[in-house]
């Protein structure tokens, strides 16, 4: 029994190593009129996905684009608050992706993004069913992880918006209260002066 368990453990480790998942999570601050670029060196049939979410700043929009080998434009997304781009590499080379805040001359932006992919492993027809299941499970787990991180960013964004709105309501209420006391004081002063003038005239 121990030898059989050891064999299964070794098989699972080998399959996990064969999949070679690549996952990177980042949060960056983009100053006004600036951009940040990153790259990944991929081989043919490698899969890669980039997801991003603007977490704060300005109108919560950003420009995103990706270029493949030879500066071939693969996607060009303008003024988006969130986005995803998935692809399978058609050739070996460097794949570059950029986040740009160049459209803004005043406000900086905070961007959270994830990059994940799986190196291509050729299926020679003898792939064990458990390996296929592990690959499918790995892909599903990556999707769940991306969704969780997206929800966390959205929750933080909504919380910041709610706190900002609460502060604005509070300050506006204070201003309204001061204005109300000011109007009441002016009315009392005016009526007092009005009756004093009438009494003097009489």
Q: Is the pTM of this model over 0.75?
A: no
Average pLDDT over residues 109-118: 84
pLDDT digits (tens, 9 = 90+) for 81-97: 889 899 999 999 999 99
Could you tell me if 178 and 77 are in contact, meaning their C-beta atoms sit under 8 angstroms apart? no
Average pLDDT over residues 46-63: 88
**Would you list the DSSP string of the chain?**
-HHHHHHHHHHHHHHHHHH-EEEEEEEEEEPTT-EEEEEEEE-TT-EEEEEEEEEESTTS-EEEEEEEGGGEEEEEEEEESEEEEEEE-SSSEEEEEEEE-TT-SS--EEEEEEEEEE------S---HHHHHHHHHHHHHHHHHHHHHHHHHHHHHHHHHHHHHHHHHHHHHHHHHHHHHHHHHHHHHHHHHHHHHHHHH-
What Cα–Cα distance (Å) separates residue 59 from each residue in 36, 37, 53, 107, 141? 19, 21, 13, 9, 32
The per-residue pLDDT for 134 is 76
Q: List the single range of 86-90, 97-101, 160-164 with lowest mean pLDDT.
A: 160-164
pLDDT digits (tens, 9 = 90+) for 136-151: 787 777 777 777 777 7
Average pLDDT over residues 55-83: 92
Predicted confidence (pLDDT) at residue 125 exceeds the cutoff of 60: no
Higher-pLDDT residue of 8 and 172 is: 172
């Amino acid at each position: 029994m121990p030898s059989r368990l050891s064999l299964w453990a070794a098989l699972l480790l080998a399959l996990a190593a064969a999949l070679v998942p690549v996952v990177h999570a980042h949060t960056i601050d983009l100053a006004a009129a600036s951009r940040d670029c990153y790259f990944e060196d991929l081989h043919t049939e490698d899969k890669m996905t980039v997801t991003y979410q603007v977490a704060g700043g300005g109108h919560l929009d950003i420009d995103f684009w990706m270029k493949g080998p030879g500066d071939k434009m693969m996607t060009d997304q303008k003024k988006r608050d969130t986005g995803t781009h998935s692809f399978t590499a058609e050739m070996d080379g460097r794949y570059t992706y950029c986040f740009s805040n160049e459209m803004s001359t005043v406000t900086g932006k905070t961007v959270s993004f994830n990059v994940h992919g799986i190196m291509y492993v050729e299926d020679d027809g003898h792939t064990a069913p458990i390996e296929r299941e592990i690959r499918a499970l790995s892909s599903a787990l990556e999707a769940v992880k991306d969704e969780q991180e997206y929800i966390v960013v959205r929750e933080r964004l909504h919380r910041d918006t709610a706190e900002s709105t609460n502060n604005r309501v509070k300050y506006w209420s204070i201003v309204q209260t001061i204005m109300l006391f000011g109007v009441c004081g002016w009315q009392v002063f005016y009526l007092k002066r009005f009756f004093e003038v009438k009494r003097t005239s009489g």
